[in-house]
Amino acid sequence: MNLAERDRRVLWHPYTQMKTADPPIAIARGEGALLFDEDGRAYIDAISSWWVCLHGHSHPHLAQKIQEQLARLDHVIFAGFTHAPAVELAERLLQKMPSNHTKIFFSDDGSTAVEVAIKMAIQYWVNRGKEKRLIVALENGYHGDTFGAMSVSSRGAFVQPFAPFLFDVIHVPTPVPGHEKASLAALESALGGGDVAAFIFEPLVQGAGGMLMYSPDALRDLLTRCREHDVLTIADEVMTAFGRSGRFLATDHQEERPDIVCLSKGLTGGTLPMGATSCSEDVYGAFHSDDRRHTFFHGHSYTANPVGCAAALGSLDLLERDDCWADIRRIEARHRREIDVFRNHSLVRDARQTGTILAVEIDSGRESSYFDEIRDELYRFFLARGVLLRPLGNAVYVLPPYCISDDQLDTVYQSMRDALETLAQRV
């Protein structure tokens, strides 16, 4: 019995209809931008394995940092104790956060980083003695799979079975091109009641929503309104941080600074699960009190795990090197050169780019949907050509590790062009 068969006997995979899914591909090892299966076949990981592997697979510097830390300290409770990797990681992250941010709260993943942010924002107003409980979020957003994160996400198929258990959220249109005024007007209306605690958003790129993109100016206008109405702002940078947008944070593309920032995915370079929530001194100050009821009652068993912190420090080491940013600029430039080819194709509804993220929305003759039947066909098409692309319905996106070579990018682009030509022959 091979590994895929053994897998199907005992495992339940995420976002997978197990009855109809193809057998999983058994990956034996990874190196750089490549994954190798049991038979030695290589796949270009053009999506950084769900957007986490910033520097590619099995990077020796990250492996060394993890190994060294394991030999010193594997884990320690983070209530009443601390350790050097956590302190150093917080210090280095805060150097890259908005200038008014002074504290880092560690958690386990992107969803829990968002849960932390939501609870911070709600309790902030409770501790201040004000009745502000509502959350405003963007339509088409995705913030995670825990209940708070689901509540502030789009109320689509992902969360429909749980809808009766989610708290009420005001959703306003995403300010994609052509909808900026409607988005701003809806936000103004939502803020008018004075009972909004926070506005949560994915800056510039909505990942699971189909890599929908909007401008820094549109984001600035939304954040400005929130500041004018004394509403906290939460930037879900779980996917967009660490250079993905072309800057360390996507919110760095405009002047208004969020009060809270959520981080995960690329935080450890794809080696270990970890989340972090950064906040301003003003937010932290609402909890810093002689009243123990003002304590932030939240935590995780693996909060600030030393090995995870060491991995994150190693990832920051690599991200702070000039050659890493040269690679980011190179990928941005390659995407820009290719995007017109896709835009001019008769089957492309839209092609868009932010930083190292390229998205091509295919016109399948149906309304854009995560459940578009074309998704499975395209996924298999790319795998057959040794390329891992995981379309979001009819939206094919490229979000590669920074170490991907130009030749590997050429292969990815060519596979996308070939897919379009194959589809065009059927029209």
Please give the positions annotated as active site.
15, 142, 236, 265
Residues 6+ apart with CB under 8 A from 187: 136, 172, 199, 222, 225, 226
- If you write DSSP's letter for every residue of 75-136 in order, what string do you get? ---SSS---HHHHHHHHHHHTTS-TTEEEEEEESSHHHHHHHHHHHHHHHHHHTT----EEE
Tokens of 362: 């295919």
How much of the chain is helix, strand and coil, in % rounded to 5? Answer: 40, 20, 40
**Which pairing describes strands 395-398 and 348-354: parallel, antiparallel, or unpaired?**
unpaired
Q: How many CA atoms lie within 13 A of 193 on its CB side?
A: 15
What is the Cα–Cα distance from 123 to 114, expressed in whole angstroms?
Answer: 14
**What SS3 class is residue 307?**
helix
Phi and psi at residue 11, to the nearest 5°: -115, 150
With beta carbons less than 8 A apart as the criterion, state whether 296 and 123 touch: yes
Vertex 109: Cα angle to 107 and 110 (nearest 5)? 110
User: Do 262 and 237 meet the contact criterion of CB atoms below 8 Å apart?
Assistant: yes
Residue 168: DSSP 8-state: P
The b/e string for 258-288 (b: 16+ C-beta within 10 A; e otherwise) is: bbbbbbbbbbbbbbbbbbbbbbbeebbebbe
Alpha-carbon distances of 160 from 166, 209, 368, rounded to whole Å = 10, 15, 18
